[in-house]
Amino acid sequence: MEALLMTLGSGWVSGIRPYFMIFLLGLGGRIFELGQVPAVLQRTDVLVITGILLLVDLAADKIAFLDSFWDQLHTIVRPIAGGAIGFLLGGETDTTNAIVMAVLGAAAAFGSHAAKSTTRAAVNVSPEPVSNVLVSTGEDVAAVVMGVLVLVLPVAAAILALILLALGIWAIIRIHRAYRDLRARLQEARARRAQGEPGRPV
């Protein structure tokens, strides 16, 4: 059960900050000797590589439009990270459980990634340039809080992850509806303008 709870929380974080989640699990397992954290995540080379990638991730996510490219690039990476963490957490028991945890982790990561990328794309076209940095910082804070909960309160992390995934689906639907309505209004305005233009001289 603990592996399931940790997979939900870590999967959600992986959809936002995958390198941070791997780094935090490994570092937490090494410092606090957490038995539920797989040994492979605590290796020095894994910690160094994920630490470097984490810094790159944090920097790229703060730059408008580059962050959207970064999100597209990680459409596969983030679910794979969530799935890999789930597989490792579930692999402590049996292979079937590991596969189930991998699917669950990948699904949670894809859900949070979809909400993040959709929201950030909408923010990038807004007129306030500071919004990008603020939203990115908010995601950092959310990832840190959720990551800590995964280690110390897996139940709270799982519940919060489910709530945030539901809110993310709602946000995606609202943003897509708003975009569709805006596009329809623009097309209607262009059609009216074209009908009102005087005929061109022959």
Distance CA 5, CA 121 (A): 30
Q: Answer yes or no: is pLDDT of 43 > 60.
A: yes
Q: Answer yes or no: is pLDDT of 131 > 90.
A: no
- For the stretch 28-42, pLDDT in tens is 999 999 988 999 999
Q: Answer yes or no: is pLDDT of 191 > 90.
A: no
Q: Could you give the number of structural domains in the chain? A: 1
Does the pTM surpass 0.85? The reply is yes
> What would you report as the CA-atom Rg of the chain, rounded to the nearest whole angstrom?
21
* Mean of the per-residue pLDDT values of the chain: 91
- For the stretch 77-107, pLDDT in tens is 999 999 999 999 998 667 899 999 999 999 9
Exposure letters 172-196 (e unless 16+ CB within 10 A, then b): beeeeeeeeeeeeeeeeeeeeeeee
Looking at the chain, the whole-number percentage of residues with pLDDT higher than 70 is 94
pLDDT of residue 101: 95
Q: Let me know: does 106 contact 80? Beta carbons within 8 Å.
A: yes
Q: Which of the four pLDDT bands, split at 50, 70 and 90, describes residue 123?
A: confident
Domain presence at residue 200 = no
Q: Which residue has the higher pLDDT, 140 or 123?
A: 140
Containing structural domain, residue 41: 1-194
Domain presence at residue 201 = no
Q: Which of the four pLDDT bands, split at 50, 70 and 90, describes residue 75?
A: very high
Residues in Cβ contact with 75 at an 8 Å cutoff, skipping those fewer than 6 apart? 113, 117
Q: Which of the four pLDDT bands, split at 50, 70 and 90, describes residue 129?
A: low
Domain presence at residue 199 = no
Q: Which of the four pLDDT bands, split at 50, 70 and 90, describes residue 197?
A: low
- Helices H, strands E: what count in the chain? 8, 0
Domain presence at residue 154 = yes
Q: Mean pLDDT, to the nearest integer, of 134-159? A: 96
Domain presence at residue 53 = yes
Q: Mean pLDDT, to the nearest integer, of 156-170? A: 97
Distance CA 66, CA 41 (A): 29
pLDDT of residue 202: 45
